Amino acid sequence: MSETIKYVLDETQIPRFWYNIVADLPRPPEPVLHPATHQPIGPADLEPLFPMALIQQEVSAERSIEIPEPVRDVYRQWRPSPLYRARRLERALDTPARIYYKYEGVSPAGSHKPNTAVAQAFYNKQEGVRRLTTETGAGQWGSALAYAGAIFGLEVKVFMVRVSFDQKPYRKALMEVWGAQCVASPSTETNAGRQILAASPDSTGSLGIAISEAVEVAAQHADTKYALGSVLNHVLLHQTVIGQEALAQFELANDYPDIVIGCTGGGSNFAGIAFPFIGAALRGERKVRVIACEPAACPTLTRGRYAYDFGDTAHLTPLVKMHTLGSTFIPPGFHAGGLRYHGMAPLVSLVQELGLIESRAYTQTACFEAGVQFARAEGILPAPEATHAVRGAIDEALRCKKEGVSRAILFNLCGHGHFDMQAYIDFLAGKLEDRHYDEAELAKSLAALPAA
Ligand SMILES: *Cc1c(COP(=O)(O)O)cnc(C)c1O
């Protein structure tokens, strides 16, 4: 058998519909609450921030939502993304497991994020929006939206978490190449930013703060709307092209995963690969084990509380029920910037509550070790975020070896790490440390959860 095994679909097999797991869940998601009144909000409450088409997707219970042809046309540039069998990694691990990975690093921005950025930019353009604001941590989402803005002719303004802004100048440059404006957050351009800077002038920022800034600017300008790169139902929905393609590719492989694994920051790439498989199981088709892998320094699913919380630090966003570390929680520094969010997607939180998924937390050195082992076997350099999924997959493969059983393991290689070389430099130099969050800070942050 050939060593390189790649399962490719042709363009006509790009999914025609996004898959909405809400239709198959045994109970509906909890309502979204108004930040001031704590009453359930309606579509009109979200109109200052999002175009109506996306609001309708946010609250939809339809199983299949048609992908507009102009969006499919942009997807065609890199979709369907390849599914690989990791034979060389299997050999390096000497495991009987069959390891597969879906590679989302083939998009122009190098991650899964353009799957939703393109859809969001399309609907905003269609509804006459001139400019989008957003936040970004490591810069993956900001660059994905900058790319989508360039494609559909929208201005894009990105608030980038200060610590990444300083550490990752190349992501900012990429956004600017695509015509976007990128400012460090907290900034002096918004009330939310100025308040933080007044209290702590050296603030290194957080995703929660950057969201506050982006939401504030969108709320104050009629021609501007806000775009979020994860967490929300419509974002997870757009990512389901990943899992749907994987289902078709497993048919080509004449196999089916026993275990599906993804890393979780806000939950979108994980939902993208896992929800179509969970849905199939809920509809009585084959069962799968599904594992979410998160950073030990920001352990939302494994240590967070399932409660109503704000999505941002300044408490401008609605309240959603999710696993949360508290909106004031600021994780210690670690390299997987895309996984530093205090909350988890409400739908991912719900499927965990329903017992449909497991979750695990890994330290960053354990993840980089797995990332380097993967790169040496398979050639592709994983994004620091993606190394959490690699760690999870390798651990399961080693368990197969110990138990002497062959299971099929699928994981989402959600992005490449070409813009994250400093992290690999530090790891290879033995300089990477596992910093732990402060238990007292977490307790304080959880104690401050809103009483909803
Ligand atoms: C943004 C990002 C993540 C985290 O976001 P999710 O919504 O949890 O997917 C993970 N991996 C990569 C490569 C990212 O860019």
- What are 21-34's pLDDT values in tens digits? 999 999 999 999 99
CA dist., res. 434 & res. 167, Å (int) = 18
Question: What's the gap in Å between 113 CA and the centre of ligand 1?
Answer: 7
Determine the average pLDDT of the residues in 379-388.
98
The angle subtended at Cα 222 by Cα 342 and Cα 191, nearest 5°, is: 45
Secondary structure letter of residue 111 according to DSSP: B
In terms of DSSP H, where are the helices of 59-199?
Answer: 69-75, 87-93, 114-126, 140-152, 162-167, 169-177, 191-199
Which region, left, alpha or beta, applies to residue 94 given φ > 0 means left and ψ of -120 to 50 means alpha? left
The confidence band for 323, taking pLDDT boundaries of 50, 70 and 90, is very high
* CA-based R_g, the chain, Å: 20
Confidence at residue 340, expressed as pLDDT on a 0 to 100 scale: 85
79 contacts: CB under 8 Å, gap ≥ 6: 11, 14, 241, 245
Percent of the chain residues past pLDDT 70, beyond the cut: 100
Closest ligand 1 atom number to CA of residue 110: 13
Q: Atom 1 (ligand 1): residue with closest C-alpha?
A: 338
Question: What's the gap in Å between 198 CA and the centre of ligand 1?
Answer: 31
Q: Give the architecture-level CATH label for domain 4-14+68-110+234-447.
A: 3-Layer(aba) Sandwich (3.40)
What token pair was written down for 20? 């909405």
* Enclosing H/E stretch for 133: strand 131-136
Q: Name the residue ranges covered by the structural domains of the chain.
A: 4-14+68-110+234-447
Q: Which of 87-91, 166-170, 306-310 has the lowest mean pLDDT?
A: 166-170
Q: Atom 14 (ligand 1): residue with closest C-alpha?
A: 338
pTM for this predicted structure? 0.97
Q: Atom 3 (ligand 1): residue with closest C-alpha?
A: 338
Determine the average pLDDT of the residues in 388-402.
98
- Side-chain half-sphere CA neighbours of 254 within 13 A: 1
452 pLDDT more than 80: no
Question: What's the gap in Å between 50 CA and the centre of ligand 1?
Answer: 21
Q: Atom 10 (ligand 1): residue with closest C-alpha?
A: 385
Confidence at residue 110, expressed as pLDDT on a 0 to 100 scale: 98
The confidence band for 1, taking pLDDT boundaries of 50, 70 and 90, is low
Write 49-52 long-range contacts (CB < 8 A, 24+).
49/215, 49/218, 49/219, 49/225, 49/226, 50/225, 50/226, 51/123, 51/124, 51/126, 51/127, 51/129, 51/225, 52/127
The confidence band for 421, taking pLDDT boundaries of 50, 70 and 90, is very high
